[in-house]
């Protein structure tokens, strides 16, 4: 009886260890991707916002096209719409932060 219990507990511990290792590997694999995406979003926002500041008459679409051209982006990997959405998402976040900081 004790032998079976010991084997069962050993297997349970081994399975838990393997599952923990798998979770850690998964997290380690997505963290660099997360930071790359975050950095790319910041690049997009900064480029377009600065472009609009220097040339107020240009449209967001023209800014996105300039960003794509400047950074030689393959639009089969990331679309025009995805870049534009990233800009608007960052702009909304930026504006919300500014509202909070002015009143806070």
User: Is 69 part of any domain?
Assistant: yes
The pLDDT tens digits for 4-53 are: 666 666 666 666 666 556 656 666 677 777 788 899 999 999 999 999 99
Q: Please compute, for residue 73, the number of CA atoms within 13 A of its CA located in the half-sphere on the CB side.
A: 19
The per-residue DSSP string of 56-95 comes to: TTS-HHHHHHHHHHHTT--TTTS-HHHHHHHHHHHHHHHH
More confident call, 10 vs 67: 67
The per-residue DSSP string of 49-66 comes to: HHHHHH-TTS-HHHHHHH
b/e code 66-76 from CB counts within 10 Å (16+ = b): ebbeeeebeee
* Domains identified in the chain, total number: 1
Provide the residue range defining the domain that includes 30. Answer: 2-99
More confident call, 4 vs 64: 64
User: Is 104 part of any domain?
Assistant: no
More confident call, 101 vs 49: 49
The pTM score is 0.66
């Amino acid at each position: 009886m004790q032998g079976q219990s010991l084997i069962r507990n050993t297997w349970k511990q081994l399975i838990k260890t393997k599952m923990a290792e798998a979770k850690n590997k998964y997290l380690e694999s997505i963290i660099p991707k997360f930071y790359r995406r975050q950095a790319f979003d910041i690049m997009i926002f900064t480029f377009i916002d600065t472009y609009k500041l220097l040339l107020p008459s240009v449209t967001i679409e023209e800014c996105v096209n300039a960003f794509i051209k400047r950074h030689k982006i393959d639009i089969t990997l990331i679309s025009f719409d995805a870049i534009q959405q990233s800009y608007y998402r960052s702009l909304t976040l930026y504006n919300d932060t500014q509202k909070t900081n002015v009143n806070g």
